[in-house]
């Protein structure tokens, strides 16, 4: 990791915690605000710990881009949770074979940048 990349990552980490400190929920209820603040903090800690051992520059840039996108979307919509999307269903193909591999590839391509770190259910 270069010094500039490290600076960007630490800056994002600090920015997330500043946002969490001043976060207000849309409903205005203090319990909702506390739940959303806790979610922001635990999500940030989890994802940063998960990705702390990345060494490839391209993978680090993808994670930085995902973090910036999630921050901007959260601030814009005032919702800290990732926005749901519709991906093609996996139940149409057998678990083995070309159709299944094709559907897996299509799901990977169709996944937006702000959900790259979330695993499939």
For the entire predicted model, the pTM comes to: 0.75
Residue 74 falls inside a structural domain = yes
User: Residue 28 belongs to what domain range?
Assistant: 3-83
11, part of any domain: yes
Q: Over the chain, what is the mean pLDDT?
A: 85
Q: Are residues 18 and 74 in the same domain?
A: yes
73 and 16 belong to one structural domain: yes
C-beta of residue 20 within 8 angstroms of C-beta of residue 40: yes
Do residue 11 and residue 68 come from a single domain?
A: yes
25 with 9, same domain: the answer is yes
Tell me the pLDDT tens digit for each residue of 79-103: 998 776 666 566 555 667 777 777 7
d(CA 15, CA 40): 11
Are 107 and 58 members of one domain? Answer: no
Asked whether residue 21 is domain-assigned, the answer is: yes
**Considering only CA atoms, which of 29, 7, 10 is closest in space to residue 18?**
10
Cβ contacts of residue 10 below 8 Å, gap of 6+?
A: none
Q: Please report the sign of the dihedral spanned by the C-alpha atoms of residue 72, residue 76, residue 78, residue 83.
A: negative
């Amino acid at each position: 990791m270069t010094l500039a990349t490290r600076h960007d990552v630490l800056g994002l980490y600090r920015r997330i915690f500043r946002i969490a400190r001043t976060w207000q929920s849309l409903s205005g209820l203090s319990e909702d605000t506390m739940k959303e603040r806790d979610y922001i903090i635990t999500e940030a800690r989890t994802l940063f710990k998960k990705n702390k051992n990345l060494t490839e520059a391209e993978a680090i840039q993808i994670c930085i881009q995902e973090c910036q996108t999630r921050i901007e979307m959260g601030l814009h919509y005032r919702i800290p949770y990732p926005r749901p999307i519709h991906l093609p269903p996996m139940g149409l193909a057998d678990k083995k074979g070309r159709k299944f591999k094709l559907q897996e590839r299509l799901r990977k391509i169709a996944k937006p940048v702000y959900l790259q770190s979330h695993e499939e259910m």
